[in-house]
DNA sequence: GTGAAAGCGCTAACAG
DNA sequence: CTGTTAGCGCTTTCAC
């Protein structure tokens, strides 16, 4: 089945290449009769334009890159990435873009991948999941004057478009909820301190406490890295400070922390309450169900793709910021039903 | 920063386009002096060849498509997909291929995506995750004479290359283990009956039982769909038949089943033992740790990519089959430590 | 409305 | 070893 070309279709339809091209691309200026005839030939022959040729001539690749750096182990277990990926994939489909996936685990990966993504001609635009201090991949990409949308607030936000939730408000909300329930020693398990996400959530924790005239006790703050194991160890560490409630910067860490609490003979939520962050469906649902902040990760994907396509179509111009909304989901782990 | 072309480099280096092309593509037949000079110009200018042009001229896209159909909900929660994806991504990186990700949730998605993947020129080859009866996407793809490698045994295996484990042997192994431990009423939670994976594992279950002269009791077999919830409900159903051990066709289903068992007041493994399948790291590790069959999902990715590249380079010819090895991992949930 | 013609930037024979 | 010469299949002015 030798592949057909525009030329072949043109011949069969008795028109010129240009006309077929117009029909294929849905341009105006084609009479209904001709359009119909051409369309029929295309349908009956099963013709599809050659993407490489189209890309070369139009200087567009119709491909969006999703770049996920530094995530080897987390990508495996955190439901965040599959959700984001799925959201992006779905949106790409809808807009007739192809999704290129670039997982960058090591510096070498980055060097290998960079030329392939930094260049217009292979990609029309880039979605970059990040939010790490000193993540100079962002700068490199911005300098390459590719349209780029960051998922998560970048540390240097000047001139870049990004999409995020208001992590500070959301975290503040979560902690305020615990305060309202009457907890006195509210601990926090943060993410890595070089992640903007974690920084913002920690700020929310501080704000909630100070707004109510409370003091932040550093003994009640422990750092994790968004893995279950890190939540577990952070909690073991926190146990000495005897928290009666814990706000974890992610659900997964909250689960690890709950495991540590139980191991220490504490009941959840009677002896220690938990609130997490994310509210993504987990492979095995926790018991008790987790009170948490819901963020629309799947929707991030769609929204990010739309911003990006807009930048691709209309030039980069002023950076866009989209802040999506979060929601406190009250379940058992915070003890709300017991305390009210 | 107007992008440079081969021509520009040729001029600056005082050679012809072809020579630069040869250098870029690492061909022989270039004198060391010239090569060095050209390389230097390329380095100093930061030149990168235009992929679209290269693709058009060479009739290669240097892109591999990973196609995952019918997986909307499972993709979210089952660690299988992130692992596979990561393995494929890593391998693509290594071999200088770009990875295109195509998630197909609905029939409409399929129609939209198909033209983009079935055509040489957008993709050099396809990796298709599947194994469903009547999955006619396989046939369509095979007919499009694209190089295709299936991940998982396809139902009609004639003429297609695929990579899989021996699910039958592995399942037989798992169940034999339970038999050796002395369990009398060994149940199975299967996957959907239209999945080859599940069919094979069920066959292994049957074989293990009949090999030991046991009869298969249909009351001890329940169907799930690889989700936690389905494991839970399957187990609730099985409880009536009072199994003393359960082999689940996936870890996630085993976890759901364990949840149901506990809810019914049964202890694991004292009252009912469990063996799963997969052994992929989970966001929140189960308690007790799961005895399971380990399959090298991450490695599937690498192996599949290598077969595919071989097919791309050397033509499709005879279909390849790669069967990777599995391993029984004995932990607590099967009660081995109690019974021995 | 439609066609002719000039590329898009690169690869790959083919000469020399 | 190197340069010349055709394309790859499509888009897009520019005439008519």
CB contact under 8 Å between A51 and B121, yes or no, is yes
**Interior/surface letters B203-220, b for 16+ CB within 10 angstroms, e for the rest:** ebbbbbbeeeeeeeeeeb
Distance of B15 CA from D2 C1′ (whole Å): 8
Residues 42-101 of B near strand D (Cβ < 7 Å)? Answer: 53, 56-57, 59
- Reported as a single tens digit per residue, the pLDDT across A175-189 is 999 999 999 999 999
Q: What is the DSSP letter of B120?
A: B
Contact between A257 and A248 under an 8 Å Cβ cutoff? The reply is yes
Q: Give me the pLDDT at residue A141, please.
A: 84
> Which chain A residues touch B52 with a CB distance below 8 Å?
52, 55-56, 59, 61, 121-122
Q: Give me the pLDDT at residue B71, please.
A: 61
Q: Give me the pLDDT at residue B145, please.
A: 78
Residues 45-84 of A near strand D (Cβ < 7 Å)? Answer: 49-50, 53-54, 56-58
Q: What is the DSSP letter of B146?
A: -
CB contact under 8 Å between A284 and B286, yes or no, is yes
Please give chain B's pLDDT, 340 residues, in tens. Answer: 567 899 999 999 999 989 999 999 888 888 999 999 999 999 999 888 888 899 999 888 999 999 998 766 677 778 899 999 999 999 999 998 999 999 988 888 888 888 888 877 789 999 999 867 777 788 888 887 789 999 999 988 888 999 999 999 999 999 999 999 999 999 999 999 999 999 999 999 999 999 999 999 999 999 999 999 999 999 999 999 999 999 999 999 999 999 999 999 999 999 999 999 999 988 888 989 999 999 999 999 999 999 999 999 888 778 899 999 999 999 999 999 988 7
How far is residue B284 from each of residues A127, A232, A297, B82, B150, measured CA to CA in Å? 29, 10, 20, 16, 30
Cα–Cα distance measured from residue A220 to residue B301, given in angstroms and rounded to the nearest whole number: 43
Judge whether residue A2 contacts strand D, using its CB and a 7 Å cut-off. no
Find the closest chain A residue to B54 by CA distance. A52
Q: Smallest Cα–C1' distance to nucleotide D6: which residue has it?
A: B57
Angle at A65 between CA A299 and CA B303, to 5 degrees: 105
Nearest beta carbon to residue B93 from set A66, A78, A113: A113
Distance of A9 CA from C14 C1′ (whole Å): 32
Contact between B147 and B118 under an 8 Å Cβ cutoff? The reply is no
User: What is the pLDDT averaged over residues A193-210?
Assistant: 96
Name the minimum distance, in Å, from the CA of B212 to any CA of chain A.
34
How far is residue A7 from each of residues A17, A19, A154, B195, measured CA to CA in Å? 6, 10, 48, 44
Q: Which nucleotides of C are covered by protein (CB under 7 A)?
A: 1-5, 7-13
Contact between B165 and B200 under an 8 Å Cβ cutoff? The reply is no
Name the minimum distance, in Å, from the CA of A11 to any CA of chain B.
22
Cα–Cα distance measured from residue B161 to residue A130, given in angstroms and rounded to the nearest whole number: 37
Angle between helix A107-117 and helix B80-94 axes, rounded to 10 deg: 70
Please give the mean pLDDT across all residues of chain A. 91
Nucleotide showing the shortest C1' distance to residue B32 CA: D1
Nearest beta carbon to residue B56 from set A56, A96, A228: A56
- The first and second tokens of residue B73, run together, are 């909900």
Cα–Cα distance measured from residue A146 to residue B290, given in angstroms and rounded to the nearest whole number: 47
Name the minimum distance, in Å, from the CA of B213 to any CA of chain A.
36
A16 pLDDT exceeds 70?
A: yes
Distance of B7 CA from D3 C1′ (whole Å): 13
Contact between B167 and B201 under an 8 Å Cβ cutoff? The reply is yes
Instruction: Pick A46 or A236 by higher pLDDT.
Output: A236
Distance of B39 CA from C5 C1′ (whole Å): 36
CB contact under 8 Å between A77 and B101, yes or no, is no
Distance of B58 CA from C15 C1′ (whole Å): 22
Name the minimum distance, in Å, from the CA of B244 to any CA of chain A.
22
Residue B160 burial class via C-beta count within 10 angstroms: exposed 0-12, middle 13-18, buried 19 and up: buried
Cα–Cα distance measured from residue A292 to residue A286, given in angstroms and rounded to the nearest whole number: 12
A2 pLDDT exceeds 70?
A: no
- Give the count of alpha carbons within 13 A of B48, CB side only: 16
- Name the band, by pLDDT with cuts 50, 70 and 90, for residue A139: confident
- Reported as a single tens digit per residue, the pLDDT across A261-315 is 999 999 999 999 999 999 998 888 898 999 999 999 999 999 999 999 999 988 8
Helix (H) or strand (E) holding A118: none
A225 pLDDT exceeds 60?
A: yes
- Please report where in the chains the tokens 């249909």 appear, as a residue: B218
Q: Is the peptide bond before A103 cis (omega within 30 degrees of 0)?
A: no
> Which chain B residues touch A122 with a CB distance below 8 Å?
51-52, 98
Nearest beta carbon to residue A284 from set B82, B109, B284: B284
Q: What is the DSSP letter of A226?
A: S
Percent of chain A with pLDDT over 70: 97
CB contact under 8 Å between A286 and B284, yes or no, is yes
Across A94-108, A317-331, B71-85, B244-258, least confident range: B71-85
Q: Give me the pLDDT at residue B298, please.
A: 93
Helix (H) or strand (E) holding B152: none
Cα–Cα distance measured from residue B113 to residue B6, given in angstroms and rounded to the nearest whole number: 33
- The first and second tokens of residue A217, run together, are 């006790």
Contact between A282 and A251 under an 8 Å Cβ cutoff? The reply is yes
Find the closest chain A residue to B71 by CA distance. A86
Cα–Cα distance measured from residue B30 to residue B37, given in angstroms and rounded to the nearest whole number: 11
- Name the band, by pLDDT with cuts 50, 70 and 90, for residue A71: low
Local structure of A204: helix, strand or coil: helix
Local structure of B113: helix, strand or coil: helix
**pTM of the predicted model, to two decimals?**
0.92
A118 pLDDT exceeds 80?
A: yes
Q: Give me the pLDDT at residue B186, please.
A: 98
Q: How many residues does chain A have?
A: 340
């Amino acid at each position: 089945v030798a592949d057909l070309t525009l030329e072949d279709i043109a011949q069969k339809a008795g028109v010129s290449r240009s006309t077929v091209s117009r029909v294929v691309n849905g341009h105006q200026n084609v009479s209904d009769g001709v359009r119909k005839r051409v369309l029929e030939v295309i349908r009956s022959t099963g013709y599809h334009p050659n993407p490489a040729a189209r890309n070369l001539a139009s200087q567009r690749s119709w491909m969006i890159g999703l770049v996920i750096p530094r995530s080897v182990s987390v990508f495996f277990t955190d439901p965040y990435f599959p959700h984001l990926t799925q959201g992006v994939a779905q949106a790409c489909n809808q807009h007739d873009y192809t999704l290129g996936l670039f997982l960058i685990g090591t510096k070498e990966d980055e060097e290998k991948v960079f030329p392939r993504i930094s260049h217009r001609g292979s990609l029309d635009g880039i979605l970059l999941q990040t939010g790490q201090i000193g993540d100079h991949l962002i700068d490199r990409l911005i300098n390459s004057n590719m349209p780029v949308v960051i998922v998560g607030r970048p540390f240097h936000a000047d001139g870049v478009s990004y999409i995020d939730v208001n992590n500070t408000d959301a975290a503040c909300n979560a902690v305020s909820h615990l305060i309202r329930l009457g907890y006195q020693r509210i601990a926090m398990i943060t993410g890595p301190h070089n992640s903007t996400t974690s920084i913002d959530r920690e700020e929310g924790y501080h704000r909630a406490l100070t707004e109510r005239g409370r003091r932040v006790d550093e003994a009640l703050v422990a750092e994790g890295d968004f893995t279950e194991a890190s939540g577990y160890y952070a909690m073991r560490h926190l146990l000495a400070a005897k928290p009666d409630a814990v706000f974890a910067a992610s659900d997964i860490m909250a689960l690890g922390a709950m495991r540590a609490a139980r191991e220490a003979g504490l009941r959840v939520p009677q002896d220690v309450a938990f609130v997490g962050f994310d509210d993504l469906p987990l492979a095995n649902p926790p018991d008790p169900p987790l009170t948490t902040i819901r963020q629309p990760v799947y929707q991030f994907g769609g929204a990010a793709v739309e911003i990006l396509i807009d930048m691709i179509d209309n030039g980069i111009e002023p950076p866009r910021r989209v802040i999506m909304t979060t929601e406190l989901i009250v379940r058992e782990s915070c003890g709300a039903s017991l305390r009210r």
